[in-house]
């Protein structure tokens, strides 16, 4: 005689599960509610990540615009920059 395979065993487990749910409808309701809650959890996590990404994109674009505006405000000629560095007014390793 052949031993039952995994498909037959799976069918036995599934039929036992369905029989148990048929005899206790409250358990079926709980399984449905738990499935709904898991789906809701994933949906909220997805929407939260989407919103976070949108906020970060807006923040970075705002910072980029600000940096571009600031870069246009102060323009120092290279000669003036060298004079400032030689005076020691800015710029690191230059010595007076």
CB neighbours of 95 closer than 8 A, spacing ≥ 6? Answer: 88
pLDDT value of position 2: 56
Measure the CA–CA gap between 68 and 26, rounded to whole angstroms: 63
86 neighbors 94 (Cβ within 8 angstroms): yes
Residue 73 has pLDDT above 50, yes or no: yes
- Please spell the DSSP secondary structure of 6-57, one letter per residue: HHHHHHHHHHHHHHHHHH-HHHHHHHHHHHHHHHHHHHHHHHHHHHHHHHHH
Asked whether the predicted pLDDT for residue 30 surpasses 50, the reply is yes
Top pLDDT among 84 and 14 is at 14
Q: pLDDT for 12-25, tens place per residue? A: 888 988 888 888 88
């Amino acid at each position: 005689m052949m031993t039952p395979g995994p498909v037959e065993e799976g069918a036995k487990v599934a039929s036992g599960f369905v029989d148990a749910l048929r005899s206790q409808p409250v358990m079926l309701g709980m399984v449905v509610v738990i499935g709904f809650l898991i789906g809701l959890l994933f949906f909220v996590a997805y929407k939260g990540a989407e919103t976070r990404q949108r906020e970060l994109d807006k923040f970075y674009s705002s910072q980029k615009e600000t940096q571009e505006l600031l870069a246009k405000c102060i323009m120092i000629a290279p000669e003036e920059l060298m004079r400032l560095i030689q005076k020691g007014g800015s710029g690191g390793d230059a010595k007076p």
